Amino acid sequence: MRKKTLILAFFALQFFVSCCLAEEKPTPALEKGIGQYKHENYEEALATLKKARQEDPQSTLAAFYLGLTYKKIQDYQASLEPLREAVTNTPKIKEALMELIDSLYQLGELEEAKKWIAEAETQEIKPAQTAFLKGLVLARDNQDGGAIESFKRAKELDPAMSQGSDYQIGLIHLKKKEFSRAQEIFKDVVVVNPNSTMANFANQYLDILKERGQPARPFKLDAGFAWQYDDNVAVKPEDISIETNISGKSDWRHVYTMNTEYNHNFSDTFNLRAQYSFYDAEQHRMHFYDMMSQTFTIQPNFTSEKTLLSFPTGYNHVWVNDTTYLSMPTFGTVYNFMTDDKNMGQLTFRYNHKNYMWTPSSADENRDSNDFGSGFGWYRFYAKNKGFVSLRYGINKEETKGKNWDYLGNRVTAAAVIPFSGKLNLTLSADFYAQNFSHTNSTYLVKRHDRTYTGSALLAYKIYKDSEFQIQYTRIRDCSNIDVYDYSRNIYSAGFNVKF
């Protein structure tokens, strides 16, 4: 009798196992979806796995791979439901638990993530990976001590996770402003595998920490001197048949520049910058075009981890041929925001009040104005943030007293800084400015419109730490429908710049 009972139990167990296996046997749609997922055809896999779920809503395997696919396309919110089902329904898929915790971490759902971490710890599912994820969650929840202990445990359980764990520990010390400790840890990260992506990130932080380690200088000064050759100082028109009262148009000049700056930090989130800039250009022959400019600026700055809000307010005064030419107060707002470690957006607004001191030839030529402008831009940093590319758009409306100078302007500017080595940098820029004047010109009896194209290339070679030799070429072409304003200009420059 006992023998017969054991035989019946054996066959019952076989039947149960075979039924379970039959339930988990992938359907054709599920097999196809898994194949598409493994071949990284995520959009196709998504559609196929949704179909597989419809065909067999109880399949935890289909739920698991659907959740994985959503994660690959970074739709973390959509991944939660199928991953939850994969870890709660039968048969449970243990691997889904790590994926679920990661999705919750990405979405900032920290309390639920902690719940599933406790489940993984109880079941001892992938202890090293669980400890690492726990460290990430605790760090985001500002539980720095617990996070560091979790990362240390992850290293002990799996030495292969040492570099990633140390990198996260370094970030925690950086957040806590324990810069010397962070620097030591990031050095260890680089030593483990210098060619890894993690080492590259650590090197970037080391560069930042190296700069932080230098004594803070509230006062800064840089000065420059350059020789320039300008082939159209007088801005003569392209059409040589147009009469002008100026003989010749090219000349050499020497240019002096100076910029002083004072920074005071009132707190971690607020500082004030005061700046004075000086520019002086003296022609060798055509002294009527000598120019001197002085600018004073006060700029309050409000900062957070990824944003900078500034309110530059200043005054600019320009002399031409030793005579006061322009007086201009200016007000502005600049908002910079980092979208990630490599990309920055920028929004700007400005107002200038221009007061020209020279008496205009007629009321229509009076250029005194209110100039309103706004714009937005994008910056992409690379080469450990030593280089960048940018694209900016701006629009401005200059409302002048004289109707001949009232216009609407649209500007597009592209620029790139290309670091060739630690000492040599190339800066390229291109600018297009369209000015559409509002009124018929009283002298030429047409509505004026200008299209100005500017290109520039600057090569800078660092002679020693705080000084560099610079050569630059600038090309300007103003295409105007009024011939007297249509001109081209080439400027060649070589000089030195020194910082103190």
pLDDT, residue 13, reads 38
| DSSP E strands, 80-218 | none
> Which domains can be identified in the chain, with CATH numbers?
19-212 (1.25.40.10), 220-239+247-499 (2.40.160.10)
For the chain, give the mean pLDDT. 86
Give per-residue pLDDT as tens, 284-340: 988 888 999 999 999 999 988 788 999 999 999 999 998 999 999 999 999 999 888
Largest separation between any pair of C-alpha atoms in the chain: 127
Q: Provide DSSP, 438-468.
A: EEE-TTT-SEEEEEEEEEEEEEEEEEETTEE
pLDDT, residue 9, reads 41
d(CA 277, CA 266): 24
Give per-residue pLDDT as tens, 52-109: 888 888 889 988 999 899 999 999 999 999 999 988 988 888 888 899 999 999 999 9
Reference 353, options 291, 393, 392, 401; nearest CA is 401
Q: In the chain, what percentage of residues exceed pLDDT 70?
A: 87
pLDDT, residue 16, reads 37
How many other CB atoms are there within 10 angstroms of residue 291's CB atom? Answer: 17
pLDDT, residue 191, reads 65
- Asked if residue 490 lies in contact with residue 453, where contact means CB atoms within 8 angstroms, the answer is no
Q: pTM of the prediction?
A: 0.62
Give per-residue pLDDT as tens, 16-63: 333 333 345 678 888 888 898 988 898 998 999 888 888 888 889 988
Reference 480, options 116, 275, 235, 169; nearest CA is 235
pLDDT, residue 4, reads 46
Give per-residue pLDDT as tens, 356-382: 999 999 999 999 999 999 999 999 988
